[in-house]
Structure 1
Amino acid sequence: MQSDWIDTFLDLAETRSFNRSAERLGLTQSTVSGRIAALEAELGARLFTRSRAGTDLTTEGLKFLPHARAIRHAHAEARAAVTPLGEAAIHIRLGIQSDLAPPLVGPWMEGLRSRLPDASFYLEPDFSAQMCRDLATGALDFAILYTPHPGPDLHFTTLGEARYRLISSDTDRIADLDPRRAIRANFAPAFEMAHRAALPRMAEAPVAAGQTATILSLLARLGGSAYVLEDSAGELLATGRFRFVTDAPVIGQPVHAATHLKNRTKPLYRTLMRAAQAVLAKV
C-alpha cells in the first residue's frame, strides 16, 4: 500500500472531486483515478461512488478513513525517526481546522519555516474533535482549532476569531433572502448557534455544508446565499454575480491553539503560538 495512494485517498475524501484533487496534488485526473483504483484493488473494496451530484465515500470508505489517517501519521513518524539529526533536529506534527486550511496553511508554514529553519513539519487539516484526540495521544504536537474538547492532558489558548460574512447571488438584503436557495453553513457548534440566532429562517435551507471551499463551489454552481470566510469570498465577489448581504451580521468564530499540557511551557510551544497568532491576524 503506497503512501501516495493514501495521500490521494485523504485528499479526495476532503474535496469529493477528482478534478479538484488533481489540481491540488498537481496530478492528472487519470493519475488520481488510477491511484484510487489501485488502493481499492489492494483493499478489495470500493471506497468512492461517483454520480452527477459528485463523489462520495462508500460505507467501506468511511470505515477506512480513520485508518488512512493513522497510516499517514505512522509514515510521517517513520520518516522522522530515520532522518539524520543534521537534516532535521525537530519534527513537529501540526493540525489545523479544515475550514482555515486553504487561507492559512501557506502563510503559517512560511512563518514557521522562518522561525524554525532546522525543523521538519507534518501538517494535516482536520476537525476539532479528532485533533483533540490526536493531541491527547501524542499524534499531534500543536493544533489551530475551533472547538476545544477539554481533557485532563490538553491546554488551550484563545488566538482570536475568524470572520464569516453572508454572500448572495440574489440580493444584498436579509428580507429578500429565499431560504430555499440558501446553503446552511455549519463550521462549529458555536458558529451554528450564532447562525441560528441571526437568521433562523436559514434553518430551512435544503443544503448544508461545513467547509467554506465546498460552499463556494456550491454557490458558484447553484447560486443562492451562504456564510463563508470573509477573505475567501473574493473570487465570487469579483465575478459581479455575488455581493455581501449588507445588513446581515458578521459572525465571529473563536479560534484556539491547543497542545498537550506537558508542552505548554516549552519554548517551542511559544514559537508555534507566535506564528499562529501572526497568521490569524490576517484572516
Structure 2
Amino acid sequence: MNIENLRAFLEVTITGSFQKASENLHITQSSVSARIKALESHLNRELFTRKRDGVALNNGGKVFYPYALSVIKTWQQAQQEVALPPNIDGIVSLGIPVHYWSKLYSDWLDWMNLNAAGVATRIQSDYSSFLLHELREGLLDLALVFEPQQIPNVHYETLFSEPLILVSSEPREVGTGQADGYIYVNWGHQFQEQHNREYPDVPHHRITLALESQALEQILQRGGSAYLAFSTVQPLLQQGRLYQVKGATEFSLTISLAVANNRQNEAIVRQAIEGLKATPFIQQYGADQQTNNRSKNGA
C-alpha cells in the first residue's frame, strides 16, 4: 500500500477538502484525487461522502482511519530508528499523560542524558486512553496511564498515587449542590466514579475542562474552585493564593506504568523505567515511597 496515498487520505480527512489537502501536501488537487481513487480501488470501496461544502468520512472511511493513522506513525517511527547514528544503541519511546507532562519529562530526559547517553528517546504527551492505544499498536514502549485496561501483552505496575484536593480562590467550606465557579477537571473514569459517589446531587457541571492547567489558570485569574493535584497546588496553598475547601473529601489518583511485554526485559527499556523512578516527582509520590511512609507511621 502506497504511503503517499495514506497521507492524502489523512489530509483530506482532517481538512474535509481535496483542495485544502492539496495545498497542505504541496501537490495538485488532481493528484490528491488520484491518490484517494487508487486507495479506494485497492480497498474496493469508497471512503468519503461527497457534500456540497466538501467531503466527510463515510462508515468505511471511519473504520479505515485508525489503521491508516497507525501505518503512517509506524512508518515515521521506522524512518527515525533506521536513521539512528551508529553510536546509538537503540531508541525507547515513552508516553506521559498531559496532566503530568511538565512534572516528569524534563527530569527524565536529564537522567537519560546522564545515565543512558547511548539511548535515543521519543516522548509523547496525550490522554491516557490514547497512550494505551499507541502502546497496543507498538508505537510506544512504555506509558504512564490513569486506568489500566486488559490488553494482551501489556504489563502494568503501580507507579505512584497522589491526592486530588478541592481548592478554591476564596476560603470556604464544602456545601451541598454545585458551588458557583466550580470547574470539573476531567481526570478520567477513576476520578469520575469517586466524584459521582461523593456528590450524587451534582450529575452535571456548568464548566468542564480537559486539563488541570486550564482550570488552575481560570481559578487564579477569575476565581472558582476545582479538584486539583496536591503536587500542583501545594506551593499556592502555602502562598495563600489558593485555599483547601474545608470538609471536602480528598480523592486519590493512581498512575500505572504500562510496558509492552516484548520490550520489558530489554536493557534500554529497563534504563528508561529506572530513570522514571529516579525523577524527583516519582521519588516523592511513588508507590514504594508511600509504602515506606506508611510503615514509618505504623499504618
TM-score over 0.5 for the pair: yes
Q: Which residue of 2 aligns with 1:256?
A: 256
CA distance in 1, matches of 2:199, 2:115: 42
CA distance in 2, matches of 1:238, 1:202: 30
Q: Deviations over 1:194-238 (max 9, x none)?
A: 122233455443011232112112223331110112122256547
CA 1:233–1:69 in 2, change beyond 3 Å: closer, same or farther? farther
Q: Do 1:263 and 1:269's aligned partners in 2 also have CA atoms closer than 8 Å? A: yes
CA distance in 1, matches of 2:241, 2:201: 23
Q: Which residue of 1 aligns with 2:214?
A: 214
CA 1:218–1:69 in 2, change beyond 3 Å: closer, same or farther? farther
The total of aligned residue pairs comes to 228
What do you get for the CA RMSD once the two structures are aligned?
3.2
CA 1:43–1:77 in 2, change beyond 3 Å: closer, same or farther? same
Q: 2:276 corresponds to which letter in structure 1?
A: A
Q: Secondary structure at the match of 1:180?
A: coil
CA 1:85–1:229 in 2, change beyond 3 Å: closer, same or farther? same
Q: Which residue of 2 aligns with 1:131?
A: 131
Q: Do 2:186 and 2:209's aligned partners in 1 also have CA atoms closer than 8 Å? A: yes
Q: Do 2:165 and 2:228's aligned partners in 1 also have CA atoms closer than 8 Å? A: yes
Match of 1:282 among 281, 284, 289: 284
Q: Which residue of 2 aligns with 1:185?
A: 185
Q: 1:171 corresponds to which letter in structure 2?
A: P
CA distance in 1, matches of 2:81, 2:221: 42
Q: Do 2:129 and 2:145's aligned partners in 1 also have CA atoms closer than 8 Å? A: no
TM-score between the two structures when normalised by the length of structure 1:
0.69
Q: Which residue of 2 aligns with 1:85?
A: 86
Q: Do 1:157 and 1:258's aligned partners in 2 also have CA atoms closer than 8 Å? A: yes
User: Larger C-alpha radius of gyration, 1 or 2?
Assistant: 2
Q: Which residue of 2 aligns with 1:21?
A: none
Q: Which runs of 5+ in 1 are unaligned?
A: 1-37, 45-58
Q: Do 1:103 and 1:232's aligned partners in 2 also have CA atoms closer than 8 Å? A: no
CA distance in 2, matches of 1:269, 1:157: 14
**1:12-31 alignment runs, 5 A limit:** none
Task: State the 1:145 CA deviation.
Answer: 1.2
Q: Which residue of 2 aligns with 1:50?
A: none
Q: 2:267 corresponds to which letter in structure 1?
A: P
After alignment, is 145-154 or 201-210 more displaced?
Answer: 201-210
Q: Secondary structure at the match of 1:263?
A: coil
Q: Which residue of 2 aligns with 1:159?
A: 159
**1:59-98 alignment runs, 5 A limit:** 74-86=75-87, 88-98=88-98
Q: Secondary structure at the match of 1:191?
A: helix
CA distance in 1, matches of 2:77, 2:262: 22
Q: Deviations over 1:51-96 (max 9, x none)?
A: xxxxxxxx99xx9x9788976765454233112121x221111101
TM-score between the two structures when normalised by the length of structure 2:
0.65
Q: Do 1:111 and 1:275's aligned partners in 2 also have CA atoms closer than 8 Å? A: yes
Q: 2:80 corresponds to which letter in structure 1?
A: R
Q: Do 1:76 and 1:122's aligned partners in 2 also have CA atoms closer than 8 Å? A: no
CA distance in 1, matches of 2:201, 2:23: 46
